[in-house]
Amino acid sequence: MSKKAWGGRFATELNETALRFSASVDVDKRLYPQDIRGSIAHVRMLAAQGILESAEAEKIEKGLNDVLARIEAGEFEWRVDREDVHMNIESALTEAIGPVGGKLHTARSRNDQVATDMRLWVRDAIDDTVTRLDRFLGVLVIRAEGTVSVLMPGYTHLQRAQPIRLAHHLMAWVEGLERDRARLLDARKRVNESPLGSAALASTTFPLDRERTAKELGFDRPLRNSLDATADRDFLLEVLSVLSILSVHLCRIAEELVLWSSQEFGFIEMSDAVTTGSSIMPQKKNPDMAELVRGKTGRVIGNLVNLLVTTKALPLAYNRDLQEDKRPVFDAFDTVRDSIDILALCLAGTNFRDDRMRAALADGFLDATEIADFLAARGMPFREAHHVSGRLVSRAIREGKTLPEFSLDELREESELFDESIHEALDMEIAVERRNVYGGPARARVEAAIREERATLEARGIDLALLSEETGAQPVIRYEDEG
């Protein structure tokens, strides 16, 4: 946009290099639906308040809709010399309907305009992300329903620790993602306040109805302070913080898929649709999509740091630095969106090897805690019972045995509290079932958690039967005949 277009203050044009450096239209043109929507709400309010004639407002609104149609048809020319999405649209409007188009900007600044656009865009992006999360949660529930009977090692420090159900592990992923969903919706409350009418920083002398524009645009209320409304981007920082936490959860899921698909684990086989080969090693089947989800986490976190640094020392009110708020926000939402979708695709088509998971239970003394609990239940202080179990593990390692292979007499050498029921207690299925407390891995508890989440998703409008059909979620693959 020529500097002369801003009035008589400037005698020369902006330097061409400075124009290219300061133009943002290549990034912020993405805001065009929100920009036009906000402009229509603004012009309707101007007419209702008698600031514009009704005929003028109608002409402007029709012109804006025509511009929108041209953009969506791919017939709109985005011009760098017009700097940003706002001036591209307003200039095109004025070219189409004449000088009356300039009245659109009455009682408005690009400062409150862009803040409004970003809040509208982020609100839409949150809603889209939540919808995608619900579909991913649905895939996890479908897979959990099919794996309740599958036992696997639970890990701490990446060391086999105690037996659990695979479904319990999948539902642990669900819990973290549900909190992410709740954080997004909580942040949405603070996004959903309207800056429109705050103008450059000190509102306006025109008798605006900010409640009207806020309501028409679906905001809960207008922001209370015009300086704050135009200058603060804490709502973006909050959303990027939530997206970073969500991205970390997605990364942890991706990391476990990578580990489980390795030959060292062999717990899963991912579908051909989400794996790749090697340029020189024909035997390879690499979990590239999960690795990329893991790798892209750094981008999302980096976007948060980017905006934190951009805003950390800005005085009130608006500063041009805030032009840089859009790229990190757009990129973070895009990255998280794609990561959610790709992990849903990965989980839908993954084959779970229950034979490999069960075999892993036999190595690593995952039943050692059962011995300690057995003795503690019979009156031995748990710390002493822990030592007894540890001595038995040490002896088993020396003798090349598993704990169930000790005879009752051998066990009673460590404690007279052992009786015939100890070997039943060391059965992995029984060990898992004994953990029948709320939040535990016993079958009834896991099935209850799955039913609760299924009901939650169905109440949100997720048709799990249709989702299963759409995603092709596979049942657990059993290999019992392979020994």
User: pLDDT per residue over 216-251, tens digit each?
Assistant: 999 999 999 999 999 999 999 999 999 999 999 999
Flag whether pLDDT at 466 surpasses 60. Answer: yes
- 8 A C-beta contact, residue 320 and residue 314: no
Average pLDDT estimate for 15-32 = 91
Q: Which residue has the higher pLDDT, 116 or 23?
A: 116
Per-residue pLDDT band at 459 (split at 50, 70, 90)? very high
Please enumerate in sequence order all residues whose Cβ is within 8 A of that of 48, keeping only pairs 6 or more positions apart, or say none.
Answer: 209, 212
For residue 108, the number of C-alpha atoms closer than 13 Å in the C-beta half-sphere is: 30
**Average pLDDT, rounded, for the chain:** 94
Flag whether pLDDT at 482 surpasses 50. Answer: no
Longest dimension (CA), the chain: 101
Per-residue pLDDT band at 279 (split at 50, 70, 90)? confident
| Strand 268-269 to 351-352 pairing | antiparallel
Give tens-digit pLDDT for 49-58: 999 999 999 9
Q: What is the pLDDT of residue 3?
A: 57
Give tens-digit pLDDT for 174-208: 999 999 999 999 999 999 999 999 999 999 999 99
Q: What is the pLDDT of residue 287?
A: 94
Annotated active-site positions, please? 157, 278
Tokens of 60: 């402007």
Average pLDDT estimate for 268-287 = 89
Average pLDDT estimate for 329-335 = 98
Flag whether pLDDT at 481 surpasses 80. Answer: no
**Residue keyed to tokens 């619900």:** 134
Give tens-digit pLDDT for 255-265: 999 999 999 99
For helices 288-311 and 234-261, angle between their N-to-C axes, nearest 10 degrees? 160
Q: What is the pLDDT of residue 12?
A: 80
Q: What is the dihedral of CA 426, 429, 432, 436, to 10 degrees?
A: -110
Domains of the chain listed by start with CATH number:
3-106 (1.10.275.10), 117-198+231-360 (1.20.200.10), 368-425 (1.10.40.30)
Tokens of 321: 């630095």
Give tens-digit pLDDT for 401-427: 999 999 999 999 999 999 999 999 999
Q: What is the pLDDT of residue 2?
A: 56
Give tens-digit pLDDT for 287-320: 999 999 999 999 999 999 999 999 999 999 999 9
Average pLDDT estimate for 336-352 = 97
Average pLDDT estimate for 99-104 = 97
Q: Which of 410, 402, 405 lies closest to 364, judged by CA? A: 402
Q: What is the pLDDT of residue 33?
A: 98
Burial 118-129 (b: 16+ CB within 10 A, else e): bbbbbbebbeeb
Average pLDDT estimate for 355-382 = 93
- Beta carbons within 10 angstroms of residue 217's beta carbon: 20
Alpha carbons 416 and 422: distance in angstroms, whole number: 12
- 8 A C-beta contact, residue 267 and residue 152: yes
For helices 234-261 and 110-145, angle between their N-to-C axes, nearest 10 degrees? 30
Entry pTM: 0.93
Average pLDDT estimate for 436-462 = 97
DSSP 462-479: --HHHHHHHHTPPPPB--
User: What is the DSSP code (8-state) at residue 163?
Assistant: E
Flag whether pLDDT at 30 surpasses 50. Answer: yes
Alpha carbons 207 and 51: distance in angstroms, whole number: 8
Q: What is the pLDDT of residue 474?
A: 59
Distance of CA 120 to the CA centre of its chain: 19
Average pLDDT estimate for 42-46 = 98
Q: Which residue blocks in 223-274 are alpha helix, DSSP H?
A: 226-231, 234-261
Alpha carbons 372 and 417: distance in angstroms, whole number: 11
Per-residue pLDDT band at 9 (split at 50, 70, 90)? confident
Average pLDDT estimate for 329-340 = 98
- 8 A C-beta contact, residue 160 and residue 265: no
Flag whether pLDDT at 5 surpasses 60. Answer: no
Flag whether pLDDT at 11 surpasses 80. Answer: no
∠ CA(388), CA(391), CA(392), 5° rounding? 90
- 8 A C-beta contact, residue 284 and residue 231: no
